Amino acid sequence: MRNEVAEALLISPMAAVPTNRTWEGSHLSSWLLDCHGILYNISLIVPTTLFVAYLASQARRSVAKLSYDRSYIMVAYYVLLWIVSVLNLIWCIVQAWQCNSMKDFSWTMLSLFTKSGMLFLEVSLIAFLLQGNSASDFEALTRTFVVSGGIVAADVLLKAIYVFGFGVPLFNDGADSSNRVKWGLWIVHKLLLTAVYGLILFMHHSKWKERFPARPAFYKYICIMFLINAISLFSCVLMQNGAGFGFWLHDLVTICYHSFYLPLIYVTFLADFFQEEDLRLENVYYSEMKDAGFFDTDWE
Residue 168 CA, distance from chain mean position: 23
Give the lowest-confidence range in 92-101, 147-156, 276-285. 276-285
Quote the pLDDT of residue 48: 97
Closest Cα to residue 124, out of 149, 87, 159? 149
**CB atoms inside a 10 Å sphere around CB 88:** 23
Quote the pLDDT of residue 280: 52
Quote the pLDDT of residue 100: 81
**DSSP one-letter string for 138-184:** HHHHHHHHHHHHHHHHHHHHHHHIIIIIS---SS-TTS-TT-HHHHH
Question: Could you tell me if 245 and 15 are in contact, meaning their C-beta atoms sit under 8 angstroms apart?
Answer: no
Residues 2-29 have a mean pLDDT of 44
In the chain, how many H helices and how many E strands? 11, 0
Q: State how far the Cα of 52 lies from the Cα of 87, in Å rounded to an integer.
A: 11
Q: What is the pLDDT of residues 56-95, one digit of tens each?
A: 999 988 888 888 877 788 889 999 999 999 999 999 999 9
Question: Could you tell me if 107 and 113 are in contact, meaning their C-beta atoms sit under 8 angstroms apart?
Answer: no
Quote the pLDDT of residue 276: 60
Question: Residue 278 pLDDT more than 60?
Answer: no
Q: State how far the Cα of 77 lies from the Cα of 109, in Å rounded to an integer.
A: 23
Q: State how far the Cα of 145 lies from the Cα of 136, in Å rounded to an integer.
A: 13
Question: Could you tell me if 67 and 75 are in contact, meaning their C-beta atoms sit under 8 angstroms apart?
Answer: no
Question: Could you tell me if 77 and 267 are in contact, meaning their C-beta atoms sit under 8 angstroms apart?
Answer: no
Quote the pLDDT of residue 137: 65
Q: Mapping DSSP to helix (H, G, I), strand (E, B) and coil, where does residue 260 land?
A: helix
pTM: 0.81
Quote the pLDDT of residue 271: 83
Name the residue with higher pLDDT: 274 or 277: 274
Half-sphere exposure of 58 (CA within 13 A, CB side): 17
pLDDT tier, 4 (very low <50, low <70, confident <90, very high otherwise): very low
Quote the pLDDT of residue 67: 83
Exposed e or buried b per residue across 113-139, where buried means at least 16 C-beta atoms within 10 angstroms of its C-beta: bbbbbbbbbbbbbbbbbbbeeebbeee
Residues 36-60 have a mean pLDDT of 93
Name the residue with higher pLDDT: 29 or 285: 29
Q: What is the pLDDT of residues 170-225, one digit of tens each?
A: 998 765 566 888 999 999 999 999 999 999 888 887 777 777 766 788 889 999 99
Question: Residue 294 pLDDT more than 70?
Answer: no
